Amino acid sequence: MADKLAEYEGLQGRVHGLRDKAREKWDTFKEWKSAIPTDRGLEGVVSHLRGPPKLERCLDDYAHVYRKKTRWELVRVSAAVMGIEFSYAAETAFVSPTLLKIGVDHQHMTLVWALSPLVGFFVTPILGSVSDRCRLKQGRRRPFILLLAIGVLMGLLLVPNGESMGYAFGDTRMNFTAALGHRISGKTAHNETLPPPPPSSHSWGIFFTILGTVLLDFDADACQSPARAYLLDVTIPEDHAKGLSTFTIMAGLGGFMGYGLGGINWDATAIGVALGGHLHATFTLITIIFIICVASTLTSFKEIPLDFLESDDCKEQLQRKLEEERKQNEAEKMIPDESATYGTIGNEQEVDNDVNPEEIPMKPIEQPPPAPRKPGTVPMIPDVQPAPRPADEYTHLGAPASESAPNPKATLQEYLYSILYMPHSMRMVCLTNLCCWMAHVCYSLYFTDFVGEAVYGGNPKAPEGSKERELYESGVRFGCWGMSMYSLSCACYSLIIEKLIQRYKARKVYICGLLFYSCGMMMMALTKHPAGVIIFSWTAGVMYSTLFTMPYLLIAHYHASGTFAVTAEGEAIQDGGLRGLGTDVAIVSSMVFLAQFLLSCCLGTIVSLSGTTTAVVCVASTLAACGALAATQIMYLDL
């Protein structure tokens, strides 16, 4: 035995040890290979590679859904909207000049911008309904975020490379210079015709660029709906206001940095030279940032799959969780008489350890009387109980209201039916949001034209190198700084909007925010001064923050309380109608498409009739005032 041990000492012993381990691994592999069910074909091989199924999920696997989130966690959940706003900045800054350069005239530019909202207005609510019924194991919202993010990514690749792709498909190069203006000019509206477009030498380039524009515009707008629904799904109702304000902060910061990124002269940097110029450098950097932001959101928190939500095990676990919470709440409300003196300084009374704890008299805490309620309002949780549901219908007990799973018997047709027939509360939220988006689109899409012409006195159709042309281009660049300021103010206002709602209530915050923007736009139209452009652009940030926060906070509150209508006495009406959170979020979000489509159809005519781009700012002010009027009719539920 001693000789055998000596033989395995040193290097020779280690070699023999490695040989034995390799032999053991090889025997294990042969056993695993012999167990492959080759008679079941490819399905059997794939099933064998996956290994045995994992243990069934339990409610504890999704404990993160039922706790309060930190600010950093909410930042991760909301990171996708920052990437979307980066792509928005690239779209508004470069899409119009790119299309003009390859031969699309101003008259057809309006049709290009109308394609995306026309598609999105009808498709986005349907995507929301499909999201509510999605049964993938990854959840209901994240698959749609990923799908729409791929569309945004394709748009970011097509827009800067569309012209080059056109050359690869047979387009010929033509020496054509287009004015880098926007869609329409007040100074060219009367008695002037646009120069004829060049020959169709960029037909493929125009096709790919327009395709990229539609993909970028539609998917960026549509991706916000599942992103918001995902935020509401993985947070408890108490975190909804904080989460939506964080969502808006990320959007504001994304727009601010995106416009700043586009304002850098990349042609004078090594990065710009390496990436092929200013346009390609900007889109490449924004594409990288967009991928990082979306990946951060998709990997933040797991969603509860719909199949698990509708399972009997989940119902039993939720029932036990609710029972435990009820007992805990009852225990917290009851205080024993002895507890007031036991363990305190100066207490000389001895406690009898033989006393049965169940015989200790318990005294309930005195509750303050309920505050009087104004007519037409209901508390955060309605006084009335919902109508009894069938035993097989799912009720998400003890979970965030936004996670409430739909009725397993509900079909997609019933969700689509809920889009057409909305309660009055939802219709007023949609009407207010439509007016607000129309007011904001006037500012965001046509603002630089106003600054270049009305503020700086330039002319986009003046000869190249002339003083009027230089004034117009200077005004356009200065207008971009104004838009950067509005994005920064959006992020700043979002930091305090939650506290404003807690102190002044949602009704005052909503209405005053819209009136603030309306007055700011009117003052900008009256002054027409560069200082006014910077100062009054901050009011647009208040509007944008309000757009991103208030409508979705109201919808989440409706679903949390299960109330979409009240009586004149302030009692909740339980109609038992089927409504999905994803569907309602998508309906409200689709108002941006309708707003952009309506403005694309009529705003050019308004500018032509008025003869000045100042009309754009005046229209924005008027529409914001109409939105404030509609906000007075919204049901706030004591929010």
Domains observed in the chain:
70-171+202-306 (1.20.1250.20), 422-638 (1.20.1250.20)
235 pLDDT exceeds 50?
yes
Pick the more confident residue, 401 or 519. Answer: 519
Please tell me the distance from the alpha carbon of residue 68 to that of residue 238, in angstroms, as a whole number. 8
Q: Is 458:71 a contact under the CB 8 Å cutoff?
A: no
In this structure, what token pair is assigned to residue 588? 């409200």
Give the type of residue at 450: F
Q: Which residue has the tokens 């200082």?
A: 531
What are all long-range contacts of 469-476, with beta carbons under 8 Å and residues at least 24 apart? 469/179, 472/181, 473/180, 475/448, 475/451, 476/180, 476/181, 476/448, 476/449, 476/451, 476/452
Positive or negative, the Cα torsion across 565, 570, 573, 579? positive
By residue count, the chain amounts to 639
Max CA distance (Å), the chain? 111
Q: At residue 597, what is the residue type?
A: F
Q: Rg for the chain (alpha carbons), in Å?
A: 31
> Is the pLDDT assigned to residue 399 strictly greater than 50?
no
Three-class SS state of 409 = coil
Contact 213, 95 (CB under 8 A): yes
49-58, 172-181, 187-196, 370-379: least confidently modelled range: 370-379
What whole-number distance in Å separates Cα of residue 559 and Cα of residue 125?
A: 17
Segment 563-604, tens digit of pLDDT: 888 777 667 776 656 677 777 887 888 888 888 888 877 877
Least confident piece of the model among 366-370, 387-391, 518-522: 387-391
Stretch 251-266: mean pLDDT: 80
| Mean per-residue pLDDT over the chain, rounded | 75
pLDDT at 581: 77
Q: Two tokens at 102?
A: 């390859």
Tell me which of 73-87, 119-133, 384-398 is least confident: 384-398
Quote the CA–CA distance of 124 and 140 in Å, as a whole number: 15
Lowest mean per-residue pLDDT among 184-188, 474-478, 612-616: 184-188
Closest to 152 in 3D by CA, of 76, 233, 82: 82
349-372 pLDDT per residue, tens: 444 455 454 454 554 545 555 445
| Residue listed under structure tokens 């492959």 | 36
Q: Exposed (0-12), middle (13-18) or buried (19+): which is 133, by Cβ within 10 Å?
A: middle
Comparing 45-54, 186-195, 488-497, 508-517, which segment has the lowest mean pLDDT? 186-195
What's the mean pLDDT in 432-452? 85
CA distance linking residue 225 with residue 227, whole number of Å: 5
- Name the pLDDT band for 479 (thresholds 50, 70, 90): confident
Contact, 290 vs 148, CB < 8 A? no
Separation of first and last alpha carbons in the chain? 84
Residue 171 CA to residue 101 CA, distance in Å, equals 14
pLDDT at 121: 78
Query: How many whole angstroms separate alpha carbon 223 and alpha carbon 176?
Result: 36
> What pLDDT is recorded for position 625?
95
How far apart CA 634 and CA 55 sit, in angstroms, is 47
Q: What is the pLDDT of residue 195?
A: 53
Query: What is the reported pLDDT for 228?
Result: 86
- The encoded tokens of residue 149 equal 């993010």
- CB burial of residue 23 (10 Å; 0-12, 13-18, 19+): exposed
pTM confidence score: 0.62
Confidence of residue 49 (pLDDT cuts 50, 70, 90): low
Residue 430 pLDDT exceeds 80: yes
- At residue 9 the predicted structure's pLDDT band, cuts being 50, 70 and 90, is low
- pLDDT at position 558 over 90: no
Residue for token pair 């020959």: 199
pLDDT value, residue 513 = 93
Asked whether 397 and 325 are in contact (CB, 8 A), the reply is: no
| Residue 4: predicted pLDDT | 52
Whether the pLDDT of residue 57 is over 50: the answer is yes
pLDDT of 545 above 80: yes
